[in-house]
Amino acid sequence: MDIVPINYLAVIVAAIANMVLGFLWYGPLFGKTWSHLMGWGEMTPDKMAAMQKKARLGYAVSFVGALVMAFVLAHALVFASTYLKVEGVHAGLAAGFWNWLGFVAPVTVGAVLWDGKPWKLWFINAGYYLVTLLIMGEILALWK
């Protein structure tokens, strides 16, 4: 069995990019709207203190998840370049988009359909995953 050629440094950088995007996306870009749609209301000092207690573990688990996502996406890119003969920027964007459309969008829409969450919240959350997969795809494709 052949070993799949994965650039592990690119996987780590893609995971870091995911964390940076998450900080921006759920902070200055959409943080207030997202918090409101989640039903948390305005962030008070008490709410911030409670969240900070959970933050270390939450960030650690999120980073592991980002590593797994980047690792799996790297394999999708290897498949695309080997069997579909697609490489470079186009391959990164295509792999990110198709993985989002096939795996993220259908699963996350359940929050709207079954949990009664608003579509606007879905667009914020699903949009984050779309952008992060596109960025990860670019990093992984260009650092192949």
Quote the pLDDT of residue 87.
Answer: 83
Instruction: Give residue-wise pLDDT tens across range 58-87.
Output: 999 999 999 999 999 999 998 888 777 778
Instruction: Give residue-wise pLDDT tens across range 25-55.
Output: 999 999 999 989 988 777 677 877 777 788 8
Distance (Å) of CA 97 to CA 34, 123, 126: 23, 15, 12
CB 93 within 8 A of CB 137: yes
Structure tokens at 81: 């370049």
